[in-house]
Amino acid sequence: MAAFKETKFPANAPVADKALGWVDDRFPLSKLWNDQWGQYYAPKNFNFWYIFGSLAMLVLVLQIVTGIFLTMHYKPDANLAFGSVEYIMREVPWGWLVRYMHSTGASAFFIIVYLHMTRGLLYGSYRKPRELIWLFGFAIFLCLMAEAFFGYLLPWGQMSYWGAQVIVNLFGAIPFIGPDLSLWIRGDYVVSDATLNRFFAFHVIAIPLVLLGLVAAHLIALHEVGSNNPDGIEVKETLGPDGHPLDSIPSHPYYSAHDLFGVSVFLLIFSAVVFFAPEMGGYFLEYNNFIPADSLKTPAHIAPTWYFTPFYSVLRATTADFMYVLMGAIALYVAFIWVTTRLPFLVKAAIAVVSLLVIIGMLPQVLDAKFWGVVLFGSSVMIIAALPWLDKSPVKSIRYRPDWHKYVYIVFGLSFVTLGYLGTQLPTALFTALSQVCTLLYFGFFMLMPWWSSMGTFKPVPKRVTFQPH
């Protein structure tokens, strides 16, 4: 075993340096800081799209801190939960502020994460060698959805109660195991005190632990292969005499100042919402959630919080009539694969057989539309994870793709936003038809990506990054 050797400092060295040296001899504090940020070299052409990663970290810390203070007064009991939230809002000093920061932070988290994912989509940040970073990020997104869902029940208001009832009942549509699975999730035959207790445990302990581990894995994987940039160029391929990429700069102090500016703008907007519009017109905090949960009184319109509504719209769009459209779409897709690809015959045949079985399963005599709605609901989320293998473009960044690719992204973005809006509205015939069109556009973007992403005339990618001061 090697002998312990302590770092020596001059007698007149600052006390802080001596203290840091003492810690570094026993724990790699300085090494961790330098590896993960202080001396981590990032591409010099980052733009404003690259502030959302650090903002997500800020909001994560904000949610954990405010959540800790809320649990000091919250009571996970069906008879006391709603009253404890009201007590926090009215009696606990600054309790209203902590609660509004937490509720606004939940929406802010999803806004930031959606923008962070948009940046990855635009600049190809999921492409080789960053597939694992994307998968870790997608797992974080799933954890956030679970965390938000479990936390949504805790205020024990009308929309919390009935929203949880509807979502949990979706699992009942799964053949064979559905009813038992729904019963296991609820812990009772209806959403009750048992459900509230287990959702509280998942929201406060289980999911945050998994989330923190995934965030650490996401950052470690990112710093192992290096950050992407708006040009989609691998800066590590051009090194300087010092061994660092020529087109990179140290994260500190350059991107520290860059991110601090973004944090300042975010906190200004965040504070304005918290102090002046914490309910955000009923989108951040629904009006029905200020009414105690009543199992005997169903709200006129049950809808999840806005950040779930794009996927919820996909669920509602899957009606019995729409199943025939989906059958036709699947048949056309298989025919398209047969005509346009050079896959081995056995692979094509396997795809055709599986698709035929799915089409048979979509017949109303076999499986009802509710089951397929749950399948599409889950698929609309899970398909995002497949992006690294669906995109066949020879370039990463949208800057060097054909101009018409931008319109494909715009149509996809508009369909996603439209689905989100329709999920907050009553399902009229017109809105249902519109959500079905947007559902087809949403899935078409991903399912046809192997073809459209490689089509067109691509612009030449420079060997060095193009930097524009901003």
- As annotated, the binding site for heme b includes 102, 116, 203, 218
Neighbours of 276 (CB within 10 A): 8
Sign of the C-alpha dihedral computed for residues 136, 140, 141 and 146 taken in this order: positive
The Cα–Cα gap between 126 and 135 comes to 8
Tell me the one-letter amino acid at 221.
A
* Locus of tokens 């009571």: 75
Tell me the one-letter amino acid at 140.
I
The Cα–Cα gap between 25 and 21 comes to 6
Considering only CA atoms, give the Rg of the chain.
25
The Cα–Cα gap between 103 and 96 comes to 11
Q: Which two tokens stand for residue 265?
A: 């703008």
Neighbours of 335 (CB within 10 A): 12
The Cα–Cα gap between 322 and 375 comes to 14
The Cα–Cα gap between 359 and 164 comes to 31
Q: Which two tokens stand for residue 82?
A: 């709603």
- Binding site listing for a ubiquinone: 223
The Cα–Cα gap between 339 and 380 comes to 26
The Cα–Cα gap between 90 and 96 comes to 7
Q: Which two tokens stand for residue 4?
A: 């312990």
Please name which of 303, 308, 307, 314 lies closest in space to residue 442, comparing C-alpha atoms.
314
> Where would I find the H helices in 154-290?
158-170, 178-186, 193-201, 207-225, 256-276
- Binding site listing: 102, 116, 203, 218, 223
Annotate 27-39 with DSSP letters as a single string. S-HHHHHIIIIIT
Omega of the bond prior to 129 within 30 degrees of 0, cis?
Answer: yes
Could you tell me the CA-to-CA distances from 409 to 121, 392, 394, 400, 441 in Å, in that order?
9, 15, 17, 14, 11
Asked if residues 19 and 230 have their Cβ atoms less than 8 Å apart, the reply is no
Strand, helix or coil for residue 320: helix
The Cα–Cα gap between 376 and 113 comes to 22
